[in-house]
Amino acid sequence: MNPADDSPRNPPRRPRPIDGSSFVEGDAAPVLPGAGEETRRPPAAPGAAEPPASMSDSALLRAVSPPLPPEIATATATARFGKFVRLKKLGQGGMGEVWQAWDVPLGRWVALKFLTGGDETEIARFTQEAHVAGKLAHPNITAVYEVGEAQGRHFIAMQFIDGTTAAKLPRGDRRMLVRVIRDAARAVGEAHRAGVIHRDIKPDNLLVRGARGGAGAADDFHVFVTDFGLARRTEGASGLSLSGAIIGTPSFMPPEQARGEKVDVRADIYALGATLYDLLSGEPPFGGATLFELLRAVQDRDAPSMRVRVPAIESDLDTIVLKCLEKDPARRYQTAEDFAADLDRFLEGEAIAARPASLVYRVRRTLWKKRAMVAVGLAGLAAVALTLAAM
């Protein structure tokens, strides 16, 4: 600001409270009150000496505020958003983008998620993510700090994880990959106990901090389940996903979700199994040249054994994953804890609880599918006959 502007005709603007909208594009870097402006003095930390009464308000805030990281202290004005300073974009999806940012008042890194555009339904779903995830407290679920709107943009401030997604983990250590999904299953089980279904579990929605991979890698990583954008509470309908609407990621969703039906916790168990299948075999259980082909495969085809793609995979591990991928939810693990417990048994060399589908069941299912195909074919022939008769 030009000193000539500090005149009675142009008094300096008083900063607004730091409430998510205090930074304005073009403001100077640190948001600190100017000389002579009133500041609420924060209480001193226990055991700390009181600052001198003569200390100026600006000096006081500089003394008690957490120091800015060098890359934030030199950030340009365009990096500012509300009380946050953005550093770099971490990713972008269908609904929005995520940035690493610095929370100036609290002095911590956050993952700042923005909604890109969006109608009223998308805004409601975006806000629901924060409200649902904010009620979950578990060491393997990313914490939500704040949800709000500033500078015309809706945002969620979340725990920043300095790691990578499970999709980018090295695939050489199968036991490490199993432990990643086991820990994720325990977190998902906690969400289920709180009445929350995720509905979009996939490798990109699992963050891993500290995983090195490779033979003999230390078990010092930490897994976080994130992105509850499609989550819903089990009691009552949310109103954000109508019957018949297909919501989620087709490669990792169960057949009932692909049909647009109402799902329960066993949909997440299927998705956890599909995610482990992808990590171990290198690709999801089903594929297709088009979305329609993929959705039909998810609904109609049985997942092939992972050992067809990777013969070295242990048969017990293959059995566990295929149990998650059963078409009938009643044949899957009924809780995420049961799934995690069987993965623990595998890791510890104990007998697993899952059993391969019996020959009788496989034959009956094959006959049922063929009968359904015959019924569809007969219905088509009947329609053709009626059409010809009417001509």
Burial zone of 133 (CB within 10 Å; 0-12 exposed, 13-18 middle, 19+ buried): buried
The pair of structure tokens assigned to 84 is 């946050």
Query: d(Cα 365, Cα 6) in Å, to the nearest integer?
Result: 82
Catalytic residue among 103, 173, 183, 200: 200
Confirm whether 200 is a catalytic residue: yes
The pair of structure tokens assigned to 213 is 């991979």
Contact 191, 132 (CB under 8 A): no
Neighbours of 103 (CB within 10 A): 20
Neighbours of 52 (CB within 10 A): 9
Q: Give me the phi and psi of 121, to 5 degrees please.
A: -65, -45
Query: d(Cα 284, Cα 12) in Å, to the nearest integer?
Result: 59
Burial zone of 57 (CB within 10 Å; 0-12 exposed, 13-18 middle, 19+ buried): middle
Catalytic residues: 200
